[in-house]
Structure 1
Amino acid sequence: MTPAVTAAVLLAAVTHAGWNAIAHKITDKLAGFTLIAGGGTLIGLAMTPFTPFPAAGAWPYLLASAALHLVYYALLMKSFRLGDFGQAYPIARGSAPLLVTLLAAVFAHEVPDGWQAAGIALSCAGLTGVALWGLRGRRPDWAAIGAALATGAAIAAYTVVDGLGVRASGSSLGYIAWLMAVEGVALPAYFLYRHRRRAWPLLRPVAGLGLLGAAMSVAAYGLVLWAQTRAELAPVAALRESSILAGAAIGAVFFKERFGAPRIVAAGLLVAGIGLMLHAG
């Protein structure tokens, strides 16, 4: 992983945590995700005249990813309804890198070397610590944890599918433009069908915030897709999940959630794991 790839993935991580915090802040989750998905579609459509059309071999991946992203949105909405941002976001993101490592080894024949495997394992240990801190002394909400883990599985699935798809597309910009254009149609259509004349009054109060989240979502994932054309999938996925640190900080500052010594130790493990991955690159 070159310095440019590393910087792109870290920027994507912070941006991703930001748009997820926006989605969590909007009380009506369906309205929030409708704006984020629909805004992404508008951005994707605006990009398509200026980007290359993806190669034919990329389209099966692109369409599969669009379906997986819809599942991801549904699970993420459920996670945010059931759990705190500082719990749901880290569990969802922290469970994905190990699954990506396994899937990338099977489908992309990318078997991590010793340094990468150690870095990924150490990062996942740190991510798990960030995720599970705060459960001591109270009964775990297994429904919320289960929804977050299912979200992580969806993240891992679309990460690998898109990693293969963007490499087959011939253009990372063309792939992200058409992916955004396709994947964001279903959720707004469902919202309009469900609410009909009440749709705009429900969307208007949070339209600005939701569209900001859409722009951040497209930017974050575009950076990741570009990185996946220049580095292996598992290290990119693990480094991307440093967004958990940004998410924990956002939770502490904006949602008044605690960030104590155990999370600082877990964050240290994450940084050490990232260092091992970069050493391998």
Structure 2
Amino acid sequence: MSDWLLSLEGTAQGEDVALALALLAAFLHALFGALQKGRHDPWLSRAAIDASYGIIAAPFALFVVPWPEPHMWPIFLGAFVIHTIYKILQAMTYTRGAYAVVYPVVRGTGPLFAVVAAGIVFGEIYTLWQWFGLALLVAAILGLAAWNLRTVTIDRDRMIPALGFAVATGAFVALYTTYDAWGIRATADPFTFLAWFFMIDGIFMPLATARRWVRLPASEFPALLRRGIIGAFVAYFSFGAIMLATRLDKVGEAAVLRETSTVFAALIAWLILGDKVGPVRTALMALIALGAVIMEFAG
């Protein structure tokens, strides 16, 4: 599998595979976000997911994939720090704001930062039409957040700090996307990076939420365990897909395509949570998709 993926780097087929992987990551990322925003404390939901994917990844990291090269250990340490700060900001965002409002802000600010960062780190260059597509996508995503804000009637006084945390979270989405793209390119086998990343990344949140777990009623454990296991496999395919996409194609383009997750999040909110979509939200989602298409095919 690794050899096949590596053979696609720099090829037209590799670009097509990267496109498919980025869209898969978009759908799964929206589902992953929804799993953290339910009846349970978002801190505990994230801890259950992290513990699950860390435990499941451990035997693959230790016994299946090749061990990391020596230069990878500082890279893993950096990834651990960046993702820890990201998770803290994300949990603070979700505990303060309505999912339909804060999620689009996180995803709307992320791609803009990621494209700029990819240009600096990887020297990626984009056409004027691609910048137009990016601007259209970001504007439509933030417009979706603003439109959703109109319907929020509970805890509106908490929305301003929630939106501030959402922007900060979006910045860290761009940071970890760029950093991890560099990390997965720094090792010979991309699955070595993924397996070790998940094992290491699963450590912090369970430890940080230990006191919350002690106070949790025993009746809630089965539901959180189920959510953790489901979330673990969603995370594997979501994060794994976007990381492999960044290895096969431009980091910025993959990051932008992933932000069509906002469209999938709105559809999930409509189909599962019973939210109304309406003509305005439908039009904004169409503009998000159009912006992603322009970004991808105008290069």
Structure 1 length-normalised TM: 0.92
Determine if the alignment matches structure 1 residue 240 to structure 2 residue 263.
no
Structure-2 residue corresponding to 1:180? 198
Residue 19 of structure 2 corresponds to residue 6 of structure 1: yes
Cα contact 2:26–2:260 (8 A) shared by 1: yes
Match of 2:82 in 1: 68
Query: 1:190 aligned to 2:203?
Result: no
User: 1:206, CA displacement in angstroms?
Assistant: 1.8
2:142 is equivalent to residue 124 of structure 1: no
1:88-103 counterparts in 2 under 5 A?
A: 88-103=102-117
Aligned to 1:154: 172
- Give secondary structure in 2 for the equivalent of 1:75: helix
Asked whether the 8 Å contact 1:56–1:169 carries over to 2, the reply is: no
| Larger deviation, residues 254-263 vs 99-108 | 254-263
Structure 1 residue 59 corresponds to structure 2 residue 59: no
Amino acid at match of 1:21: A
Q: Partner letter of residue 38 of structure 1? A: A
What letter matches 1:20 in structure 2?
G
Worse overlay, 206-215 or 89-98: 206-215
Match of 1:45 in 2: 58
Give a deviation string over 1:118-150, Cα, whole Å, max 9, x none: 222222122222222133487682111111111
Using the TM superposition, name which of 79-88 and 135-144 deviates more: 135-144
Decide whether the 8 Å contact of 1:24 with 1:80 is kept in 2.
yes
Output aligned runs, 1:25-36, within 5 Å.
25-36=38-49
From 127, 134, 146, the counterpart of 1:113 = 127
Q: Secondary structure at the match of 1:2?
A: helix
Q: 1:8–1:196: structure 2 CA closer, same or farther, 3 Å change rule? A: closer
Match in the other structure for 2:188: 170
Note the alpha carbon deviations across 1:137-186, whole angstroms, 9 max, x for none.
Answer: 87682111111111111111111100111111122211011111111101
Whether the aligned pair in 1 keeps the contact of 2:65 and 2:191 (CA below 8 Å) is yes
| RMSD, aligned CA | 2.1
Pick from 267, 273, 277 the counterpart of residue 259 of structure 1. Answer: 277
Q: CA deviation at 1:229?
A: 0.5
Please give the alpha-carbon distance, in whole angstroms, between the structure 2 residues aligned to 1:190 and 1:125.
36
Separation (CA, whole Å) in 1 of partners of 2:30 and 2:200: 23
Q: Cα gap change, 1:135/1:29 in structure 2, threshold over 3 Å: closer, same or farther?
A: closer
In the aligned structure 2, how far is the partner of 1:166 from the partner of 1:28? 32
Equivalent pairs, count: 280
Flag the 1:186–1:234 CA change in 2: closer, same or farther, 3 A.
Answer: same
Q: Is the 8 A contact 1:58 1:166 kept in 2?
A: no
**Which residues of structure 1 form unaligned runs of 5+?**
none
SS in 2 for 1:67: helix
Of all paired residues, the percent bearing the same amino acid is: 28
Quick check: 2:100–2:148 contact (8 Å CA) kept in 1? no
Q: Does 2:290 align with 1:279?
A: no
